[in-house]
């Protein structure tokens, strides 16, 4: 089996093509293991589909399934474009969160994200107010003056209490800083697309951000989120790090 490793601003993924759906949870946990496998935050399986360019199965690093991953959507769109699975610099594919449309321009990929759903606007936890949103997967979001104020133990507690990813963000009108603790990885990741979009949604609705902003995750890379005609768009560069053959 040929696998390709991608990094999307520090969020890394294993991607390969398969012809049939299957339970690949154990394989995902094995390949994503940082010491005994390839090492990745998630695994994407590209499957044929009659109506769209392809369908995906997305697995977290622990082998659990997830409906959506913003950075993986950009990485897999580039992968499909390079493999000729999609053409014309565009990709349209089915995820658990619905159909995702992406535009590929060299290494720069923009994904149209699923419409966000605000579940709760006022959750009081440990002295601050959190929003609970679903931007393809559930996210808790708090706004802080400094994203360096990040307590990994607090993030872990809230992740398990609400079964959601946990984000802190600092909006500055034209720029957004975000840090995310991801379920399924069970640690802070260098970037989380759906988490950045969730942070943008709350900050924008509270009047703290413009419609188009530079977004900086823990990796320090520059990404961009915009709201255009009701569509949330998430863009940035991706990197293909290597291609390898697995050994049984």
Residues assigned a catalytic role:
69, 192
Q: Cα(94)–Cα(219) distance, rounded to whole angstroms? A: 28
Distance separating alpha carbons of residues 110 and 105, to the nearest angstrom: 9
**CA 47 from centre of chain:** 19
CB 148 within 8 A of CB 141: no
Distance (Å, whole) CA 46 – CA 80: 8
Joined together, the tokens standing for residue 59 give: 């697995």
Angle at alpha carbon of residue 71, lines to 199 and 77, rounded to 5°: 140
- DSSP three-state, residue 26: helix
Q: Return the DSSP state at 67.
A: S
DSSP of 38-59, one letter per residue? Answer: S--SEEEEEE--SSSSEEEEEE
Residues paired with 224 in a beta bridge: 214, 235
Structure-block tokens of residue 12: 């890394």
Q: DSSP letter for 135, please.
A: S
Give per-residue burial for 194-209: e unless 16+ CB within 10 Å, then b: bbbbbbbbbbbeeebb
């Amino acid at each position: 089996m040929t696998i390709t490793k991608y990094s999307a601003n520090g969020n890394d993924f294993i991607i390969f093509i398969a012809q049939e759906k299957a339970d690949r949870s154990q394989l995902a946990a094995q390949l994503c293991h940082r010491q005994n496998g390839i090492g990745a935050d998630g695994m994407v399986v590209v499957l044929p589909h009659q109506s769209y360019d392809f369908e995906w199965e997305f697995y977290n690093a622990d082998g659990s399934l997830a409906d959506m991953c913003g950075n993986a959507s950009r990485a897999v769109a580039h992968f499909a474009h390079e493999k000729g699975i999609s053409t014309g610099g565009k990709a349209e594919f089915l995820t658990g969160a619905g159909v995702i449309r992406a535009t590929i321009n060299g290494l720069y990929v923009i994904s149209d994200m699923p419409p966000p759903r605000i579940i709760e606007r006022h959750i009081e936890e440990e002295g601050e107010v959190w929003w609970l949103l679903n931007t393809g997967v559930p996210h808790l979001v708090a706004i802080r003056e400094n994203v360096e104020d990040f307590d990994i133990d607090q993030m872990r507690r809230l992740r398990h209490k609400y079964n959601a990813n946990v984000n802190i963000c600092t909006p500055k009108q034209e720029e957004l800083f975000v840090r995310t603790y991801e379920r399924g990885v069970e640690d802070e990741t260098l970037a989380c697309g759906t988490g950045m979009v969730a942070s943008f949604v709350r900050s924008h609705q509270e009047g703290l951000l413009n419609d188009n902003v530079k977004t900086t995750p823990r990796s320090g890379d520059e990404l961009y989120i915009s709201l255009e005609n009701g569509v949330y768009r998430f863009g940035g560069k991706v990197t293909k790090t290597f291609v390898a053959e697995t050994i049984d």
